[in-house]
């Protein structure tokens, strides 16, 4: 959509409010709104000011003024607002120099796309994330000086088979058996359909929706692949729609990777492919129908996986999902069809156009702009340096003998370990000024201070079960 088309849309739909959305550093959408009269053709160049020092991980108080520049191609009518509201995703720029802000995640993603083209390797990187999430009926949590607790609940939760629900109808998915019985066991079909149809109305290209493996309301809605920035924009809109449709039904949705103990967590298996013009570059006559380029791309992902995971699995909770036994890919290997490998080559179709690689470590708590950019930079490094991924693992990695398993590298066991890997291995991210040293350093510092240290200082409820009687 062009600027003139956006302005025409505001007239045709009698828009009352214009909402500007942009991404903070950790990965949440922020926004502010203006009356429609404030939007003009000039707005798409001059932008609107806001306080950058109040955004997590951004400016110091003495350099707080920043601008958002709305992107007309992202215009939609917000489906949730009472007053007709035009929604625009924005880029963030310095008000003095008019340069794009280096810590703006959308800017990082735009630079990653530009760098790919500059290498001559490909014109387009397509990404297709499969973001899983939970829909709960209630969530409560608190942490004080002398108390800590959390509790989530779902009418689907297997733990509620004995609860007096007046009446309890009993259709509750068994642990690890939520993939995917029909209603009434799947009680969320209509809500997911509403989410899917709302996404389509907002311009997202959706392929399917279904219940996922865990009990207690785990779901997945799959979007069709798109270029990097467009898909990162789409992932944010996807989360926005899911959360707001759930709220409309008196429920709550979360993209937290591991909200339940002893059942599957939520991953975001991410499909990647490179194209040059109309030519898919990952199709060939090698292993699993892959080209040499695709194998080198896998080599790059596996070599830099530990550092990349600092962006794709960016929370302390992420590493409660990345453990053996819950379909999480903790072994850094590749395979066709084998879902226990960190990199999988889907074999659903023999068409060269569908040939892609699937990186299974990411989870939906990530900042999509930065996660997809980090994956792409690892792919580019693998191709440029012709990194051999080694032999594929077509056996079940969880059933390997201990001496065999010891030879397979594993994912970091904590956010601490992932950040240490990023600190030791990030030169590949700095190429083309895609990630700056400041961004990498700020990411490590922010995560260390605000998440790792904050968690380390607090007693855990289970510690009382382990140690109170010492």
Beta-strand runs (E) in 337-421: 341-345, 357-359
In the block, residue with structure tokens 């850094």: 332
Q: What gap in Å lies between CA 129 and CA 223, rounded to an integer?
A: 7
Per DSSP, the residues of 278-330 read TEETTBSSSGGGB-HHHHHHHHHHHHHHHHHHHHHS-STTHHHHSSTTTT---
Residue from 360, 363, 381, 451 carrying the catalytic annotation = 360
Contact status, residue 420 vs residue 395, Cβ threshold 8 Å: no
Is 212 a known active-site residue? yes
Residue from 137, 358, 381, 451 carrying the catalytic annotation = 358
Return the structure tokens found at 229. 């920035």
Residue from 24, 78, 186, 220 carrying the catalytic annotation = 220
Return the structure tokens found at 415. 């956010």
Return the structure tokens found at 130. 């499969």
3-state secondary structure 125-182: EEEEEEEEEEEECEEEEEECCCCEEEEEECCCCHHHCCCCCCCCCCCCCCCCCCCCCC
Residue from 269, 271, 321, 356 carrying the catalytic annotation = 269
In the block, residue with structure tokens 């993209």: 255
Q: What gap in Å lies between CA 327 and CA 398, rounded to an integer?
A: 10
Is 130 a known active-site residue? yes
Is 269 a known active-site residue? yes
Is 278 a known active-site residue? no
Q: What gap in Å lies between CA 87 and CA 85, rounded to an integer?
A: 6
Q: Nearest 10 degrees: CA dihedral of 398, 402, 408, 411?
A: 60
Hey, is 253 helix, strand or coil? Answer: strand
The set of residues, in sequence order, having a beta carbon less than 8 Å from that of 22 and lying 6+ positions away, is 29, 30, 31, 68, 89, 90, 91, 92, 104, 106
Residues constituting the chain: 470
Hey, is 48 helix, strand or coil? Answer: strand
Is 426 a known active-site residue? no
Residue from 5, 51, 205, 433 carrying the catalytic annotation = 51
Residue from 24, 78, 104, 130 carrying the catalytic annotation = 130
Hey, is 57 helix, strand or coil? Answer: coil
In the block, residue with structure tokens 């796309």: 113
Is 51 a known active-site residue? yes
Is 441 a known active-site residue? no
Q: Which are the catalytic amino acids?
A: 51, 130, 132, 212, 220, 269, 339, 358, 360
């Amino acid at each position: 959509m062009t600027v003139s088309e956006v302005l025409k849309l505001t007239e045709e739909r009698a828009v009352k409010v214009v909402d500007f959305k942009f991404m903070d550093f950790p990965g949440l959408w922020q926004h502010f709104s203006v009356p429609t009269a404030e939007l003009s053709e000039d707005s798409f160049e001059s932008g609107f000011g806001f306080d950058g020092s109040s955004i997590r991980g951004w400016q110091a108080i003495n350099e707080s003024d920043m601008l958002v520049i709305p992107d007309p191609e992202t215009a939609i009518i917000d489906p949730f607002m009472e007053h007709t509201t035009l929604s625009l995703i924005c880029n963030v720029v310095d008000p003095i120099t008019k340069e794009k802000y280096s810590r703006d995640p959308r800017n990082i993603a735009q630079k990653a796309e530009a760098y790919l083209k500059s290498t001559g390797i490909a014109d387009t990187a397509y990404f297709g994330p499969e973001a899983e999430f939970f829909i709960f009926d209630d969530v409560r949590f608190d942490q004080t000086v002398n108390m800590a607790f959390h509790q989530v609940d779902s009418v689907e939760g297997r733990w509620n088979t004995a609860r007096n629900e007046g009446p309890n109808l009993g259709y509750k998915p068994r642990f690890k058996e939520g993939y995917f019985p029909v209603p009434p066991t799947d009680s969320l079909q209509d809500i997911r359909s509403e989410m899917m149809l709302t996404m389509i109305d907002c311009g997202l290209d959706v392929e399917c929706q279904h219940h996922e493996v865990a009990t207690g309301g785990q779901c997945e809605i799959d979007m069709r692949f798109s270029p990097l920035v467009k898909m990162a924009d789409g992932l944010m809109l996807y989360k926005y729609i899911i959360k707001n449709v759930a709220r409309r039904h008196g429920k709550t949705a979360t993209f937290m990777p591991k909200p339940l103990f002893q059942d599957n967590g939520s991953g975001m298996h991410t499909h990647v492919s490179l194209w040059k013009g109309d030519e898919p570059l990952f199709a060939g006559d090698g292993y699993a129908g892959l080209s040499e380029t695709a194998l080198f791309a896998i080599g790059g992902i596996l070599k830099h996986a530990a550092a990349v995971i600092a962006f794709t699995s960016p929370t302390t909770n992420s590493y409660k999902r990345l453990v053996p036994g819950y379909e999480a890919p903790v072994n850094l290997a590749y395979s066709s069809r084998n879902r226990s490998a960190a990199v999988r080559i889907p074999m659903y179709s023999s068409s060269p156009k569908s040939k892609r690689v699937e990186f299974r470590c990411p989870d939906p708590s990530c900042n999509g702009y930065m996660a997809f950019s980090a994956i792409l930079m690892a792919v580019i490094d693998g191709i440029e340096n012709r990194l051999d991924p080694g032999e594929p693992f077509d056996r079940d990695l969880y059933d390997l003998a201990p001496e065999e398993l010891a030879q397979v590298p594993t994912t970091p066991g904590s956010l601490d370990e992932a950040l240490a890997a990023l600190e030791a291995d990030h030169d590949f991210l700095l190429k083309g000024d895609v990630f700056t040293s400041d961004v990498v350093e700020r990411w490590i510092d922010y995560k260390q201070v605000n998440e790792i240290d904050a968690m380390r200082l607090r007693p855990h409820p289970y510690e009382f079960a382990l140690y109170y009687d010492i």
